[in-house]
Amino acid sequence: MPTETFEFQVEARQLLQLMIHSVYSNKDVFLRELVSNASDALDKLRLAKLRDDSLDADVSDLHIELETDPDARTLTVRDNGIGMSYDEVGQLIGTIANSGTAEFLRELREAQDTAGAEGLIGQFGVGFYSGFMVADEVTLLTRRAGEEQGTRWTSRGEGTYTLERVDDAPQGTSVTLHLKPADPDNQLHDYTSVWKIKEIVKRYSDFITWPVRLVGERGDGGEAAEPETLNSMKALWARSRDEVSEDEYHELYKHISHDWRDPLETIQLQAEGTFEYQALLFLPSHAPHDLFTRDFKRGVQLYVKRVFIMDDCEELLPPYLRFVKGVVDAQDLSLNVSREILQQDRHIRMMQRRLTKKVLSSVRSMMTDDAERYATFWREFGTVLKEGLVTDSDNRDAILAVSSFATTHGEDGTVTLKQYVERMRDGQDDIYYITGESRESIDNSPHMEAFRERGIEVLLLTDPVDEVWVDAVGEYEGKRLRSIAKGEIDLGAQDDGKAGEDREKQAEEYAGLLGWLREQLDEDVKEVRLSTRLTVSPACLVADANDLTPALESMYRAMGQ
Ligand code: ADP
Ligand code: MG
C-alpha cells in the first residue's frame, strides 16, 4: 500500500511546535489525554453496538491496555473501541476541530510575550498532540469497528504526517509513543517505568469506567505476564463526598469537559426512592467562547447504571444552565433510552427540576460563603443565567436571589435587588434601572442627571437580555422595576415640597414655548413636557412607558421584525 504524506493544518502545526518545545511543566498529563480518548472510543463503540446489533464488532472485553518497552523506549496506549476510518484519521488528527483549542491559539498569538503565553498554555487542553511533549515520533494504528481495512498514521510533529492503509489492524486504536531520550538526571520522567505509569494512571484516570491494564513485562520467551488492572473504576458520583478528594473530582471534570482548568464548584446529589439517580455536576471557572452560539454543546452526560449513554444530554438541565458540566447516572432507565423517550419521561422532568434547584442553591451558598468565587461565577455566567428570569418562571425568585447588577452606587461592585431595596431612600417606591450598550454610554446619558443629582441609586444594565427580563419580572418585593429612560418619572416626592410648587409655576410660564416646540416637532415626538430629570442637559428624548427601548428596537429590527 502506498504511503501518502500530508501537511498539518496551520493551527495544528503551531500547536505541535508548542508541544515539541514543550512548555507544560507537568508533562505527565499526556497519558491522561490518551487514556481519556481511549475511554471515549470504548463508550462510543458500546453505544454503536447497542443501537445496531448487526455491527460487526467485538464488545466482549472492552478495555484499555498500556505497554512499555524500555529497550525500544516506547509506550503504547491501546483500546479496542470504535477506531477511526482512513478519512477520519486525517480529519480528526490532522486538523484542530476543537473550538476551545482554536480559541486558545488565538489568545496565544495575542499574548506576545512568552511569560503570558506560558500562563495560557497551562489552561488549555491539547488532547492527542500532548503526546509530542514526551515523544519525538508518534504512530497511531487504527481500524474502525465494522470496517475491514485499518490505517497507520505517523508523524514526528514537524509539519507533515503520513497515512497508510493496513490490512491486518486490530479493531480499535493503538498509539505508540517513541519516547525522547531519557534524562539521566531525572528518572522521575521515565515513561517506560512501570512504577511511573501506575502512578500517573492512579492519579489522573482512576475513575475511568473501563479497565486500564498494564501489560506485564515479557519474559525471555516473549510471552507477557498477566496484565494488571491499574484503576479502581469506581464511579465518583456513587461515592460519598468525604471518601473522594477534591483532586479526584477535578480530574473527572477535566475528562468530561475537556477543560484543563479546575472547576469553580463541585455539586453532588444523590436521589433515593422510586426513581434513583446520582448526579455530580460542575460549574466551570470560565465561560467557553461559544456559549451563545447555536451549536454550543451542553456538558451533562447521562449514564444508566454506570454505563455511559450519551453526551450533552439536553433534557437534564434547562438551557440557561447549559454551561454546567457533569454526570447524571440513573438506575431505572433502559440502556436503550433515546432522546425521544427522555423528552417524554416524567421522571426526567422531575429530575430536571430537582437538579435545577440544586444548582441554584449551590450558587446561593457560594454567594454567602465565598463572595469572590461568586463574583467569578457571575462574571462568567451571569448573562446566561439571566435568560432563566425570562424562561423559567417557577425558579424566577431563586434566580433573582443569586443575580447581581452593576450600579451607580459602587465603582466595580454589584448589588442584588434585595440589597437595593434595603438601601432605597425614604419616599422612593420604585427600583430604577437604565439599559444601554456599555456602562460608559449609560453614564453619559442625560437620563442619569437628575438621579445623580439626588443620589438615587440606578442599576446599570448592559446585557441585551436585561431589556427582556426586567419586563418579564416587572417587580420585586412590591417595588416596580422602572426604566429611567421611559415614561414620566416624578422625582418630586423625593425633593422637598417647594420643588413641586416651583414646577407648577414653571409649567405655566413655559406653556407657550412647549406649545411651539410641540408644533415644530409634530412629526417626530408625541409630547413635549418640562422635566425634573435633567440638571445640565437642556433636553432629552424619552420613550413612552410602553414603547420599545432603542436597544430592543434595533434588536427586533435586526431580527427582521
Ligand atoms: P478531543 O478528545 O478533545 O476531541 P483530541 O485531540 O484528544 O481532542 O482527539 C481528537 C479526536 O480524535 C477525538 O475527538 C476523536 O474523534 C479522535 N480520537 C483520538 N483518539 C482516539 C481513539 N483512541 N479512538 C478513536 N478516536 C480517537
Ligand atoms: Mg481527547
Confidence of residue 395 (pLDDT cuts 50, 70, 90): very high
Cell of 116: 503570558
Nearest CA to ligand 1 atom 16: 92
The response to whether residue 84 sits with its C-beta less than 6 Å from ligand 1 reads yes
Question: Cα of 128 to ligand 1 centre, how many Å?
Answer: 7
- Is the model more confident about 64 or about 449? 64
pLDDT at 552: 54
Cα–Cα dist 109/120, whole Å: 11
Nearest CA to ligand 1 atom 21: 37
pLDDT in tens, 83-142: 999 999 988 887 776 666 677 777 777 765 555 555 565 556 678 988 998 999 999 999
What is the percent of the chain with per-residue pLDDT over 90, rounded to a whole number?
Answer: 53
Tally Cβ neighbours within 10 Å of residue 545. 11
> Could you tell me if 130 and 260 are in contact, meaning their C-beta atoms sit under 8 angstroms apart?
no
Greatest pairwise CA separation for the chain in angstroms: 111
Per the listing, cell 466551570 goes with: 284
Nearest CA to ligand 1 atom 20: 37
pLDDT of residue 561 exceeding 50:
no
Cα–Cα dist 79/210, whole Å: 10
Nearest CA to ligand 1 atom 14: 92
Atom of ligand 1 at shortest range from CA of 125 = 3
Question: Cα of 110 to ligand 1 centre, how many Å?
Answer: 27
Cα–Cα dist 388/381, whole Å: 12
pLDDT in tens, 380-393: 999 999 999 999 99
Nearest CA to ligand 1 atom 4: 98
pLDDT at 339: 83
> Could you tell me if 205 and 246 are in contact, meaning their C-beta atoms sit under 8 angstroms apart?
no
Question: Cα of 381 to ligand 2 centre, how many Å?
Answer: 25
pLDDT at 332: 85
Question: Cα of 484 to ligand 1 centre, how many Å?
Answer: 53
Tally Cβ neighbours within 10 Å of residue 113. 8
Atom of ligand 1 at shortest range from CA of 81 = 24
Which whole-number Å values give the CA distances from 110 to 114, 120, 288, 293, 298, in the listed order? 11, 11, 18, 23, 28
The response to whether residue 38 sits with its C-beta less than 6 Å from ligand 1 reads yes
Cα–Cα dist 218/433, whole Å: 74
pLDDT in tens, 43-95: 999 999 988 999 999 999 999 999 999 999 999 999 999 999 999 998 888 77
Per the listing, cell 434513583 goes with: 276
The response to whether residue 128 sits with its C-beta less than 6 Å from ligand 1 reads yes
The response to whether residue 127 sits with its C-beta less than 6 Å from ligand 1 reads yes
Cα–Cα dist 316/350, whole Å: 9
- Is the model more confident about 538 or about 413? 413
Mutate to test the pocket of ligand 1, among 15, 18, 37, 44 (most ligand atoms within 8 A of CB): 37
pLDDT at 98: 62
Question: Cα of 34 to ligand 1 centre, how many Å?
Answer: 8
Question: Cα of 304 to ligand 1 centre, how many Å?
Answer: 23
Cell of 537: 442637559
Nearest CA to ligand 1 atom 5: 127
Cell of 273: 426512592
Tell me, rounded to whole angstroms, the distance of Cα 10 from its chain centroid: 26
pLDDT of residue 502 exceeding 70:
no
The response to whether residue 98 sits with its C-beta less than 6 Å from ligand 1 reads yes
Question: Cα of 35 to ligand 1 centre, how many Å?
Answer: 10
Residue 198's Cβ-count burial label (10 Å; 0-12, 13-18, 19+) is middle
> Could you tell me if 182 and 190 are in contact, meaning their C-beta atoms sit under 8 angstroms apart?
yes
> Could you tell me if 277 and 328 are in contact, meaning their C-beta atoms sit under 8 angstroms apart?
yes
Tell me, rounded to whole angstroms, the distance of Cα 107 from its chain centroid: 17
Q: Of the ranges 86-100, 463-477, 502-516, which one carries the lowest mean pLDDT score?
A: 502-516
Could you report the predicted ipTM of this complex, rounded to two decimals? 0.99
pLDDT of residue 145 exceeding 90:
yes
pLDDT of residue 37 exceeding 80:
yes
Question: Cα of 80 to ligand 2 centre, how many Å?
Answer: 16
The response to whether residue 265 sits with its C-beta less than 6 Å from ligand 1 reads no
pLDDT at 460: 94
Atom of ligand 1 at shortest range from CA of 129 = 6
Atom of ligand 1 at shortest range from CA of 33 = 7
* Binding-site annotation, residues: 33, 37, 79, 84, 99-100, 123-128, 173, 339
pLDDT of residue 27 exceeding 80:
yes
pLDDT at 559: 46
> Could you tell me if 258 and 127 are in contact, meaning their C-beta atoms sit under 8 angstroms apart?
yes
281: CB partners within 8 A, 6+ apart: 266, 267, 268, 269, 300, 324, 325, 326, 327, 328, 355, 358, 359
Proximal ligand: closest to the CA of 99: 1
The response to whether residue 82 sits with its C-beta less than 6 Å from ligand 1 reads yes
Q: Considering only CA atoms, which of 198, 195, 193, 196 is closest in space to residue 229?
A: 198
Strand partners, 327: 280, 301
Cα–Cα dist 72/412, whole Å: 59
On average, the pLDDT of the chain sits at 86
Cα–Cα dist 207/236, whole Å: 7
pLDDT in tens, 199-218: 999 988 998 999 999 997 77
Cα–Cα dist 327/276, whole Å: 14
Cα–Cα dist 366/343, whole Å: 31
Question: Cα of 549 to ligand 2 centre, how many Å?
Answer: 46
* Binding-site annotation, residues for ATP: 33, 37, 79, 84, 99-100, 123-128, 173, 339
The response to whether residue 81 sits with its C-beta less than 6 Å from ligand 1 reads yes
pLDDT of residue 22 exceeding 80:
no
Cα–Cα dist 514/511, whole Å: 5
Tell me, rounded to whole angstroms, the distance of Cα 220 from its chain centroid: 51
Confidence of residue 24 (pLDDT cuts 50, 70, 90): low
Atom of ligand 1 at shortest range from CA of 175 = 23
pLDDT at 534: 63
What is the percent of the chain with per-residue pLDDT over 70, rounded to a whole number?
Answer: 84
- CA angle centred on 119, ends 115 and 120, rounded to 5°: 115
Question: Cα of 265 to ligand 1 centre, how many Å?
Answer: 27
pLDDT in tens, 254-309: 988 888 889 999 999 999 988 999 999 999 999 987 888 877 888 899 998 888 88
Nearest CA to ligand 1 atom 7: 127
Per the listing, cell 529497550 goes with: 71
